[in-house]
Copies of this chain bind each other. A is one copy, B any other.
Amino acid sequence: MIRSDLIRGHLDSIILRLIFEQDRYGYEISKEISLRTDNRFQIKEATLYAVFQRLEKKELIESYMGSVSQGGKRKYYRITTLGKAYLREMIEEWKETKEVIDLFMEGLQ
Residues of A within 8 A of B (CB): 2-3, 5-10, 13-14, 17-18, 20, 36-37, 40-41, 87-88, 90-91, 93-94, 96-98, 100-101, 103-105, 108-109
Copies in the complex: 2
A97 to B40, CA, bound (A): 9
Please indicate the chain B residues that have their CB under 8 angstroms from the CB of A97 in the complex. 2, 6-7
Q: Please give the distance in Å from A8's CB to the nearest CB on chain B.
A: 5
A-B pairs, top 8 by smallest CB distance, nearest first, are A5-B9, A6-B9, A14-B104, A6-B97, A17-B104, A94-B105, A37-B100, A91-B105
Known contacts A41-B100, A90-B105; 9 further A-B pairs (Cβ under 8 A)? A2-B97, A3-B9, A3-B93, A6-B94, A13-B105, A18-B104, A88-B109, A91-B105, A94-B101
